[in-house]
Amino acid sequence: MTTISKRSVDATKAAQKDSYLWDRHLKGFGLKVTPTGRKVYLIQYRVGGRKGRTRRVTIGVHGVLTADQARARAKQLLGEVAAGCDPAAALREERGSGRLGELLTRFLEEHAKGKLKPSTAGEYHRLARLHILPVLQHRLVDALEDVSSACRAIREI
């Protein structure tokens, strides 16, 4: 553990795996260095006490933010954690809708099963399994600009 400053961040080198440098003075504030050399400021905290899940929230990239700016943002976020808020959950809500795979699965369960002929419902399931889910399952629904971009992504496989 060391104090995260410009000097300590610049001295940190990339390794074969992600490596972390944690701040001595602000518990939960750290720097992640990826194998490509990308340096990202983050906070780490637990939701639900000692046995709760550990969460990490990215604050920003080194170079765009200084160590002092990142520390100030980390203090703000860790203060929210101390007040009982979960910044990771708040960020998820800000991002909006869920993943396309979740939405498609819900559509197939709610609409295709009860409202379509069994052969049509089976075809919808087959098309989703073979063509849509492998390509677009993890994309956010809000990230799809339009239907034609989704179709182009499917055709590229």
Mean pLDDT value across the chain: 83
What pLDDT, in 10s, does the model give residues 34-89? Answer: 999 899 999 999 887 788 888 889 898 898 889 999 999 999 999 988 888 888 87
Average pLDDT over residues 95-115: 78
Angle at 85 between CA 82 and CA 90, to 5 degrees: 140
- Is 111 domain-assigned? yes
Helix H segments across the chain? 6-11, 67-82, 87-94, 100-107, 113-115, 118-127, 133-136, 147-155
Where in the sequence is the domain holding 129, given as residue range(s)? 100-155
| Shared domain check, 139 and 71 | no
CATH of the domain at 72: 3.30.160.390
Question: Within a 10 A sphere around the Cβ of 134, how many other Cβ atoms?
Answer: 12
Q: What is the pLDDT of residue 147?
A: 62
Task: Kindly state whether residue 1 falls inside one of the protein's structural domains.
Answer: no
The pTM of the whole model exceeds 0.75:
no
Residues 6 or more apart in contact with residue 139 via CB below 8 angstroms:
99, 100
Helix/strand number for the chain, H first, E second: 8, 4
Q: Looking at residue 151, what is its pLDDT?
A: 66
* CA dist., res. 53 & res. 2, Å (int): 25
